[in-house]
Amino acid sequence: MNKHFRDSLYYLTRAGEHATLGVRETLEPYLTALRTRLGREPTPEPDRLEGVRTGFGRLEQTAERRVRSVGRALERRVR
């Protein structure tokens, strides 16, 4: 009997979580419109591609700096 109560509690909890997600998804456009009208719209998070591009740009700059410093060191050795 106790197993049935645990199972029912599990499924009831899952149903509640899914209902919450459904309500949030349904209300999201309205909340976004309300935030925009109130001037409280949060800044959008950068998407994954922008993050990769930014990271690649930093990596490129770091590599360029290292190559230049190695080039300078080689010039000093040659002289």
CA 45/CA 10 separation, integer angstroms: 34
* pLDDT bucket at 65, cuts 50 / 70 / 90: very high
pTM beyond cutoff 0.85: no
Q: Are 29 and 22 in contact (CB under 8 A)?
A: no
Asked if 35 and 44 touch (Cβ cutoff 8 Å), the reply is no
Same domain assignment for residues 1 and 36: yes
pLDDT in tens, 7-62: 899 999 999 999 999 999 999 999 988 888 888 876 677 788 888 888 999 999 99
Are residue 38 and residue 53 in the same domain, yes or no?
A: no
Q: Do residue 36 and residue 60 come from a single domain?
A: no
Given this model, what pLDDT does residue 1 score? 65
Q: Are 42 and 32 in contact (CB under 8 A)?
A: no
Q: Could you tell me if 37 and 68 lie in one domain?
A: no
The number of folded domains in the chain is 2
Q: Are residues 32 and 66 in the same domain?
A: no
Q: Which residue range(s) make up the domain with 12?
A: 1-44
For the four alpha carbons of 38, 27, 18 and 49, in that order, the dihedral sign comes to negative
Say whether both 51 and 40 belong to one domain. Answer: no
